[in-house]
Amino acid sequence: MRLALMVAAMMAVGVAPAAAQVKIGAVGPLTGANAAFGAQLKAGADLAVADINAKGGVLGKQLDEIGLDDACDPKQAVTDANQLVTDGVAMVDGHYCSAATIPASKVYSDNAILEISPSSTSPKYTDQGSAFTFRTCGRDDEQAVVAAAYIDKHFHAARIAVLDDNSTYGKGIADLIRANLGKDGIGVVYSASYTAGEKDFSALISRMKAAGINFVYVGGYYGDYALLMRQAQTQAFAPQFMSEAATATTATWQIAGPAAEGSLFTFTSPPAENPAAAKVVAELKAKGEDPGTYLLYSYAAIQVWAEAAAKAHSTQPVLVARALKADGPWKSVLGPISFDAKGDPVKINYVVYSWHDGSYSVVSKQ
């Protein structure tokens, strides 16, 4: 009776009752060295929430997105995760860097909150065995196989250097490259780690020149990789450069300039070219947004969660997580997605891209 009187009073003064909402988190590096990718994750999450809410939300409830910045810092990621636990979110779209995602995922798992990362490719993330961890992207052990096979086919006789930034992601994939090259009978002539955020690579470049290196694979993020290529050009060192998904951004060319010409990297098949993404890509272009590498993966994370919640008739993470693995494939802007027992997509196709004149295109498919 009291509630009815309150509602009547609110309507009498022109105030409508608050719409029922479901809180979700969206976390990535909005500041720091990887802000270019954080912006992609945020744009993808924002658009997914807007599109879902425009269609009536999830189970009749509007989504309330809580966006946070972890700057790819593990400590800040844990702080953000605890904040989202306090806020009572049902799911999290994020994080970006594996070094941030992995410690944050323990907080979410311990509090039974579902996390879907659009970009963390380290196998360690889902290998932990949590029922609440998922990703819409691929794994580095899949990516490394494709990269090593390409090197074996095109640069088998090269004098190869493999570098990494000693991060969870960078060293993780570089070690996988080293291992896969070894299986293919290809020796690594020079192997080293550098400090993330390094500003002077001259000594490292000099050592590689002295070793006669003519192929350099780098496991790390775009800022360091681009600077390394630019400084290599200054020192007249012109090997074939190759890297991975963390360099798949136009920011790489913006930093490296023509020094990046002809350099290679692995990423999944162009997500924006998938017919399932056409409507969303059109929306993004109308907003002046570039449907870049991880933007659609972020969109898909919220999209498949919403579908699974509808299927489970609940936003309770344990029920949604169960539905994500038991049912599917789920319709998404990336095409149909099914999840295995670990929470990984069943099949992701990695391909090799090459930079030319400020843009990149596929040069080799699986």
73-124 residue pLDDT tens = 999 999 999 999 999 999 999 999 999 999 999 999 999 999 999 999 999 9
- Which helix (H) or strand (E) segment holds residue 191: the answer is strand 188-193
Dihedral sign for Cα 52, 55, 56, 58, please: negative
HSE (side-chain half, CA atoms, 13 Å) at 310:
17
Q: Nearest CA to 163 among 213, 113, 199?
A: 213
Length of the chain: 366
Has residue 2 got a pLDDT over 70?
no
Give per-residue pLDDT as tens, 147-165.
999 999 999 999 999 999 9
User: What would the mean pLDDT of 214-227 be, rounded to a whole number?
Assistant: 97
**Beta carbons of 24 and 49 less than 8 angstroms apart:** yes
**One-letter amino acid for residue 188 of the chain:** V
Give pLDDT, residue 366.
56
Q: What percent of the chain has pLDDT over 70?
A: 94
The first and second tokens of residue 73, run together, are 């810092």
Give pLDDT, residue 286.
86
Give pLDDT, residue 19.
61
d(CA 75, CA 332): 32
HSE (side-chain half, CA atoms, 13 Å) at 83:
14
The first and second tokens of residue 175, run together, are 């070690």
Give pLDDT, residue 272.
87
d(CA 15, CA 9): 8
Residues 6+ apart with CB under 8 A from 94: 25, 26, 27, 28, 41, 70, 101, 104, 115, 117, 118
Give per-residue pLDDT as tens, 60-76.
999 999 999 999 999 99
Query: pTM value?
Result: 0.91
Give pLDDT, residue 253.
97
Dihedral sign for Cα 247, 248, 254, 256, please: positive
Give pLDDT, residue 347.
86
**Beta carbons of 333 and 276 less than 8 angstroms apart:** yes
User: What would the mean pLDDT of 9-31 be, rounded to a whole number?
Assistant: 71
pLDDT band at 329 (very low <50, low <70, confident <90, very high): very high
Gyration radius of the chain over CA positions: 22
The first and second tokens of residue 142, run together, are 């899949």
Q: Which of 5-14, 86-95, 213-222 has the lowest mean pLDDT?
A: 5-14
